[in-house]
Amino acid sequence: MVRVHVVVHGRVQAVGFRFGARVEAQRLGVSGWVRNRSDGAVEAEIEGEPAAVDRMLAWLDEGPPGAEVTALTTTDLSPTGGHGFRVEP
């Protein structure tokens, strides 16, 4: 298992990014959370099997239709054994 913290920059708010991320995370079987930041970015923590986390990062790098991702910053974290994926306010 691996866990990463991700910050997604660009036009990523008001385009359904968080809810699209939840759908994709559930499809891939990864856990964690996603939320909007006050600086206009979206941040998330993703945990799961390395291949699934890589696929989730690839999705975050593209985002849903209407998003324009300009940068993706990741930081490795220690896995916590989390379950489920939630959208935070």
What value, to the nearest 5°, has the Cα angle with vertex 14 and ends 51 and 64? 35
Active site residues: 18, 36
Burial class (CB in 10 A: 0-12, 13-18, 19+), 82: middle
**Dihedral sign computed on CA atoms, order 79, 6, 21, 36:** positive
Residue 58: HSE in the Cβ half-sphere, 13 Å Cα cutoff: 7
